[in-house]
Structure 1
Amino acid sequence: MTRPPRTLLINPTIASRHSARFPLPLLNLAAALDQHGQSRILDGNIERDTVPEVLRALDHESFDAVGMTVMGGPHVPEAIKLSRAIREHSPGLPIIWGSYFPTLFTDAALNAPYVDYAVRGQGEETLVELVCALTGQGPPLAAIAGLSWKDGDRIVHNPARRFSRGNPPPLLPYEKLGDPRKYLARTFLGQRTVAHQAALGCRYHCTFCGVAAMFGGATALPAAARLERELGYLKHELGADSVQFFDHNFFDREAEMVPLLEVLARLELPWWCFARADALVNLSEANWKLVRKSRLRMAYIGAESPDGQMLREIRKGTRPDQTLQVAEVCRRHGVIPEFSFMVAPPTHTEEETEQTFEFIRQLKRVNPACEIVIYIYTPLPENAMHEKDRGRHRATPLIDLHGAPVVFPSSPDEWAQPQWVNYACHADAPWLDERLRRRIDDFVTVLRCRYPTVQDMRAPHWAKRTLSAMAAWRYRIGHYDRPWELRLANRFVQLRLPQVQGL
């Protein structure tokens, strides 16, 4: 009798143990794999000595494959370290990378001796078929949609897998994490905040966005009964008192949102989510009542730019006036809007940046409680976009400070270099000079000291008030240059950075 396949699923370390949240991709993969075999999850955010822990698992258990979720940025160096250790320890064990990095940069992912297979896009069905194929129980490799693999020295890209609204399990296998309660965290939402994903994908096609590149404008909202079942378990069985939604875009079409809002209104768990300005601005007053009853505390909104032309070029689908409107709408309804902006684009770099600074000041006048997150604009290369979106917009060639074309990395090791980790994290770009980089950093320092985030649960109130008072004169007259006194004070207070630390 053939033994059912066993898969080791790994989440490389990317966060502190305090900041660890449910490894939701691996839980969904495990639920799919366990219908055809067995799986084990090893979360590097909890198991800090990840390499020794992985090698111990390989010594004491038999696995047919290792699957690793690789998000990009700081996840890549950790994934490389783990993959190299596995390859050295068990040379014949297949190593599979999935998630954003191998989906967007497939050739680069496979251009390494420690990666055998890349799963593109949604991974559940592809990974199940691949693991079964590796054990002689599934289809041939060439027949597995969504898979890229090596045939000798040649990289083979199978056709993409169609987006699936899926057949999710009644409940994710949280028991595979040991005690799931260790993933509940104290945040500004509550004492035991839990991470959850209800909807998948986003129907928009923003040219800079990994979600658009991975799902190509497809999206799937959950059935209300499933959402109530999942959140009911998290609340009543695990003791969660608040929810951070990892949905790629929680507020979709209003009619489809109403049943979900009704569930949230019954449960009354304070929550945080991703949203769009146009969706919230157009939400009816009746449904805003549901939002208030559901206790939505904060919505992360991609404002991106105050320049309407730039928003059209990046296919955002929103307008600057909607950003101002949603700031006021959220103020009226007691929701904190957390706006993200992308500064220093490749063209009109300085002008766009200064225009964004002034627009942020305008937003603060409309709604002083709004929160601001600033990133460097780092567009995706054309070949990283979803196949449906390639060639659909005319992109200006990317040029570095020396006038040379920007050449993107061709291997995981190159993507693991600091400058490319920063690029992937929207923290730096090849066309950004030191003077403007310092100008952006100075503005962010003054802004975050003048308006410390409500998400900061560690810094004492008196310290945040003191920093705010110290920054007030600089912010009032727009004098951001060299805020040495704020940087010195922040060494002791160490205000939270939401764009780096999350909730």
Structure 2
Amino acid sequence: MIILYHPRATRPRNRRLPLAVLALAAALEGTEDYEIVDGNLEDDPTGRILELIGQHHVELLGVSCMPGPQMVAAMETSREIRRLHPEVKICWGGYFPSLYPDAALNARYVDYVVRGQGEDTLLELMEAIRGKRELTSIKGLLYKDMFGLRHDNGERAMKGPDEFPWSPFHRLPVEKYLRPSFFGKRTAVHHASIGCPFNCSFCGVHAAYGNKEKFESPERTVAILTHLVDRYGADSVQFYDMNFFLREDKARELCDRMAHLNLRWWCEARVDIMSRYSDETWAAIKRAGCAMIFFGAESGSDWVLEEMQKGITTEQTLEIARRTYEFGIIPEFSFVIGNPNDPDRDTQESLRFIRKIKRINPDSEIIIQHYTPTPQPHKAGGEMYGDIEVPFPDTPAGWATEEWMNFTLRIDTNAPWLKQKTKKLIDNFETVVGSRWPTVQDIRAPQWSRLLLKALSAWRYTFHVYKHPFELHLAQQFIALRKPKRESL
């Protein structure tokens, strides 16, 4: 038996379908005996894995994990399985080991690391475990041999979604994953592409999953959505693609095909691409049920955007604010503020720019984080952020410390290039803006709480007074209003 483990990543009320392990399950379906253990669903996932090991001959425990809390859960479970059942091979895959393969392989409880897309690599690894092929022949695999020596077999070329079977939804209680959200009462998730053709310097997606984005065909996307609607009653969906829209003709075709499903949905898109879309395409996107789009605006400074290799301009972001307002779609604009080369200038220009966005489209959701570039996997031990050398952890346990967990989650990065005064300004501005326009995505917050926050913060925002917003911190602790894109915390 193969166990596919999805460690806990979020609170139960926010859980969504574990798409990563479902993709692996699709490759195994019909040919292998396997079980999915989802830490977001199981009260005791480690206990469940131990139970399966006691009942079956388990050849491999496959663990998929993201950086942050999910990596910590993966570490704890893997360590326990290795202690009690050293005969069970353990393989890590997913975003964390794809970015930091050496750190993952440094753990004594990890035998194999899969980098990038894992479906074919998993199938070939099982052949090798059974003595039917050599480990050295498996692209995308890193491993330790019997002498503890490390081997890296190189990159595996990415395949598009259409080259793999559908996710075997029947292997999970799907109804327990269709949770209420701002978009509907039964929100599903879907991933219609892999990879990213852009090369933003602060992002790790390009490094982990390739420099080309391969899309699922519109026919297949709509067929899967139709199945989720008809079989499980989904009424909304969040698309987890890095760039849901690239080619305008494909975007228009997909939206026309899915309009009849009456789904409300969310996706991520590029500022530069959608700023060039025609009014007809925008109207088609709205008709198809699009309620909100996430955009990486990143900075209010064109010089920073150029340095990031982002490929967008501030004027394009303002154009998106205008177009979304015109068509009644809520934009989420994400900013990573405090560029190492001139953090004070970047901060001041970005805060002014955010105020400009709010004047154009008050419904814009603003997400603010400290500038925290993702370490690239080819950088062993550290890389230069501006003129600062940052030594990154070389084990999962190192990444699990409070300092690096905060760094990963961009909660309190203690970035050496960011003065405490500048950091406070960023944090206080976020508090004021988040109170002046409380996120619409927190469906649990009562109306009175929103009105209270708006009233308390109005004078601060009007007069640019961001220092010491103690009354807003107190109110937010009492109300516990969720921040955009923080539902996993």
TM range (shorter): over 0.9
Shift of 1:36: 3.4
Which residue does 1:245 correspond to in 2?
A: 239
Which residue does 2:160 correspond to in 1?
A: 165
Shift of 1:433: 4.1
Give CA deviations for 1:202-236 in whole Å, capped at 9, x if unaligned.
21111222211112321111112211210001111
Shift of 1:123: 0.6
Which residue does 2:347 correspond to in 1?
A: 353
Which residue does 2:261 correspond to in 1?
A: 267
Distance 2:427 2:302 in 1: 25
1:468 pairs with one of 454, 476, 482: 454
Shift of 1:422: 1.7
Which residue does 1:318 correspond to in 2?
A: 312
Which residue does 1:481 correspond to in 2?
A: 467
Amino acid aligned to 2:407: Y
Shift of 1:172: 1.4
SS across alignment from 2:12: coil
SS across alignment from 1:301: strand
SS across alignment from 1:18: helix
SS across alignment from 2:335: strand
1:284 pairs with one of 253, 278, 281: 278
Amino acid aligned to 1:94: K
Is residue 76 from structure 1 mapped to residue 71 from structure 2 by the alignment? Answer: yes
Amino acid aligned to 2:399: W
Amino acid aligned to 2:396: P
Amino acid aligned to 2:45: T
- Number of matched pairs: 484
Could you list the runs of 5+ residues in structure 2 that have no partner in the other structure?
none
Is residue 201 from structure 1 mapped to residue 185 from structure 2 by the alignment? Answer: no
Which residue does 1:409 correspond to in 2?
A: 393
Distance 2:162 2:279 in 1: 34
Is residue 111 from structure 1 mapped to residue 106 from structure 2 by the alignment? Answer: yes
Distance 1:241 1:74 in 2: 29
Shift of 1:418: 1.4
Is residue 430 from structure 1 mapped to residue 424 from structure 2 by the alignment? Answer: no
1:214 pairs with one of 193, 208, 214: 208
Give CA deviations for 1:70-107 in whole Å, capped at 9, x if unaligned.
11122221111011011011101110000111111111
Contact kept in structure 1, 2:162 and 2:217, CA below 8 Å = no
Could you list the runs of 5+ residues in structure 1 that have no partner in the other structure?
1-5, 388-393, 400-404
Distance 2:197 2:213 in 1: 6
2:136 pairs with one of 126, 133, 142: 142
Distance 1:457 1:416 in 2: 31
Distance 2:322 2:139 in 1: 46
Shift of 1:437: 2.9
Shift of 1:278: 1.3
Give CA deviations for 1:106-164 in whole Å, capped at 9, x if unaligned.
11110110111000010100111102211223x21000000011132321110211111
Shift of 1:249: 1.0
Structure 1 residues 290 and 166 mapped into 2: Cα distance closer, same or farther (>3 Å)? closer
- The range that moved more, 211-220 or 81-90, is 211-220
Contact kept in structure 2, 1:201 and 1:249, CA below 8 Å = no
Shift of 1:458: 0.8
Query: What is the aligned-residue RMSD (CA, Å)?
Result: 1.8
Structure 1 residues 488 and 382 mapped into 2: Cα distance closer, same or farther (>3 Å)? closer
Distance 2:240 2:310 in 1: 20
Distance 1:502 1:326 in 2: 27
Shift of 1:169: 5.1
SS across alignment from 2:167: coil
TM-score between both structures, scaled by the size of structure 1: 0.93
SS across alignment from 1:36: coil
2:360 pairs with one of 351, 366, 374: 366
Is residue 295 from structure 1 mapped to residue 281 from structure 2 by the alignment? Answer: no
Amino acid aligned to 1:95: I
Which residue does 1:26 correspond to in 2?
A: 21
SS across alignment from 2:13: coil
Shift of 1:166: 4.9
Which residue does 1:232 correspond to in 2?
A: 226
SS across alignment from 1:337: strand
Distance 1:277 1:413 in 2: 37
Amino acid aligned to 1:319: T
Distance 1:214 1:491 in 2: 37
SS across alignment from 1:244: strand
Contact kept in structure 2, 1:133 and 1:140, CA below 8 Å = yes
Distance 1:297 1:311 in 2: 27
SS across alignment from 1:444: helix
Amino acid aligned to 2:436: R
Contact kept in structure 1, 2:305 and 2:311, CA below 8 Å = yes
Amino acid aligned to 1:410: D
Is residue 181 from structure 1 mapped to residue 175 from structure 2 by the alignment? Answer: yes
Which residue does 2:432 correspond to in 1?
A: 446
Structure 1 residues 189 and 502 mapped into 2: Cα distance closer, same or farther (>3 Å)? farther
Distance 2:197 2:30 in 1: 30
Contact kept in structure 2, 1:10 and 1:69, CA below 8 Å = yes
Which residue does 1:421 correspond to in 2?
A: 405
Shift of 1:168: 4.6
Shift of 1:435: 3.2
Distance 1:166 1:494 in 2: 39
State percent identity of aligned pairs: 40
Contact kept in structure 2, 1:170 and 1:226, CA below 8 Å = no
Distance 2:476 2:128 in 1: 55
Which residue does 2:299 correspond to in 1?
A: 305
Amino acid aligned to 1:430: A
Give CA deviations for 1:175-210 in whole Å, capped at 9, x if unaligned.
211x21110111111111111111222211112222
Shift of 1:170: 5.2
Contact kept in structure 2, 1:188 and 1:454, CA below 8 Å = yes
TM-score between both structures, scaled by the size of structure 2: 0.95
Structure 1 residues 305 and 384 mapped into 2: Cα distance closer, same or farther (>3 Å)? farther
Contact kept in structure 1, 2:161 and 2:216, CA below 8 Å = no
Give CA deviations for 1:39-58 in whole Å, capped at 9, x if unaligned.
21100011132222221222
Distance 1:229 1:130 in 2: 31
Distance 2:458 2:279 in 1: 36
